[in-house]
Amino acid sequence: MPRSVLEAVKMGLWDFEPERVDRNRYSPTDALPGSTEKLSILKQRLQLGLPLWHPDDRLYFAEETDE
């Protein structure tokens, strides 16, 4: 069984879904989508076998604030 999306793709398993990981086990990022910083964070998550996306990751350039 693959440990990550990358391993699954190498094995030809295109419908692989990683095990759910508690959102407290890894941190969200405020990095802009598509930025070098965000891509670096996604790479780190992939290497650690974590989900690529955290529910609280920044989604847009201009995030709404409570101010």
Render pLDDT for 26-42 as a digit per residue (tens, 0 to 9): 999 999 999 999 999 99
Task: Give the pLDDT of residue 67.
Answer: 47
Compute how many other C-beta atoms are within 10 angstroms of the C-beta atom of residue 50: 16
Task: Please give the full DSSP string across 19-45, using - where no structure is assigned.
Answer: PP--GGGS----PPTTSHHHHHHHHHH
pLDDT on residue 63: 62
Q: Exposure string (b/e) for 18-35, b if CB count within 10 Å is 16 or more?
A: beeeeeeeeeebebeeee
Ranges of the chain with pLDDT below 50: 67
